[in-house]
Amino acid sequence: MFKRNWLSTAVMSIIIAYVVVILGTWLWSAAMPSSSVRPLLSDAGIRWFFGTFVINLAQPLLVWILLLDIALGACIRSGLGQALKQLFRPNAHLSNLQKRGLWPAFEIVVFELIIMALLILPRHAILLNITGTLYPSSASVSLIPVLAFMLLSASIFYGLFSGLIHNYKDTVACAVNGGRNLKIILCFYVLLAELVAIVKYTLIN
């Protein structure tokens, strides 16, 4: 019940922000036609809204959310998340299956870190930019996808060696099921991303 009330309150707050921005810019532009404010309730504003709606949502952040959701969902379903929680608790006691799964997961992460180091640390590394610096570069742009892939691979290795994942069907199911809150996260992403785009269009540009 608390979660439902919190979600409804948050969504209504965002919708109220929409109304304030849209009506506020329209009234401001009507009262001061010479201002730089561009109202959304105009011919140009309506054309912009319909013409750029998909572009406003097609941002790297959306890809990061999807990749992290896949990785975190796999981490939870493979049992790696629970094993890590127990590992960092005082007087942690891990079962033999958990220990057998953690070592391969740790080894694959170390292997992937070594590969990334070879692609980043040398002076003329492949993932550095043309000036040889880390930011901005292919390495910095791909940071979130790389971390998501490392977590996903570690989760799959843990599940395979601990016995929680038995075959390729379990592996695919573990990877594609995703987290429980993806729909909620995407809903907030759409609302907030479009609100930010509207604010930029009406007030900043």
Between 54 and 181, where is the model more confident?
54
Q: What is d(CA 39, CA 179) in angstroms, rounded to the nearest whole number?
A: 38
pLDDT at position 113 is 95
pLDDT at position 205 is 63
pLDDT at position 4 is 65
Classify the C-alpha dihedral 140-151-58-115 as positive or negative.
positive
pLDDT, mean over the chain: 87
**Mean per-residue pLDDT for 12-34?**
91
Lowest mean pLDDT among 8-12, 132-136, 187-191: 132-136
pTM score: 0.81
Q: What is d(CA 105, CA 51) in angstroms, rounded to the nearest whole number?
A: 46
Between 152 and 85, where is the model more confident?
152
Alpha helices in 32-142 (DSSP H): 43-57, 60-78, 80-87, 96-120, 138-141
Q: Across 25-34, 52-61, 175-184, which has the greatest mean pLDDT?
A: 52-61
Whose CA is closest to 22, among 190, 198, 189, 200? 198
Is the pLDDT at 32 greater than 90, yes or no?
Answer: no
**Mean per-residue pLDDT for 159-171?**
84
Give pLDDT tens digits for 73-126.
Answer: 889 888 888 888 888 877 778 788 888 889 999 999 999 999 999 999 888 888
Helices 96-120 and 143-162: crossing angle in degrees, nearest 10, is: 150
Lowest mean pLDDT among 1-5, 110-114, 167-171: 1-5
Between 163 and 187, where is the model more confident?
187
Is the pLDDT at 174 greater than 60, yes or no?
Answer: yes
Nearest 10 degrees: Cα torsion 9, 62, 43, 17: 20
